[in-house]
Amino acid sequence: MGRPSKYTEEFQRDAVDLVRSSGRPINQVARELGMSHETLRNWVRKRERQTGTGPAASGGGVSVADKDAEIVRLRREVAELRQEKEILRKAAAYFAKEMDR
């Protein structure tokens, strides 16, 4: 087990929230808070893993929300393609019947 942190949990949460809400680079926020940028970067990554957001959690730099949106889009596309396939199947059956006459 590592040594106890000199930063409180509340400070860590607030620092991560500041990085997320400000849109500023981690280096800049860490400098303003008077701490190591690597420490703050580790806290941000840890929070991303815990909450299931960001590249640390989802891999490949794709957020969970983006993946969910892609799944919805693909399901719609599959439904549309199934309808088109059914229409083509019926059309082929109709034309095959016409050819027999």
Please tell me the total number of residues recorded for the chain in this structure.
101
Fold of the 1-61 domain: Arc Repressor Mutant, subunit A (1.10.10)
What is the tens place of the pLDDT at every residue in 51-89? 877 655 445 556 778 888 899 999 999 999 999 999 999
Phi, psi of 63 (to 5 degrees): -75, 165
Let me know: does 19 contact 29? Beta carbons within 8 Å.
yes
C-alpha pair distances (Å), 19 with each of 2, 27, 62, 69: 25, 10, 19, 25
**The overall pTM is greater than 0.75:** no
What is the tens place of the pLDDT at every residue in 11-59? 999 999 999 888 889 999 999 999 999 999 999 999 988 887 765 544 5
Residue with tokens 């849109």: 23
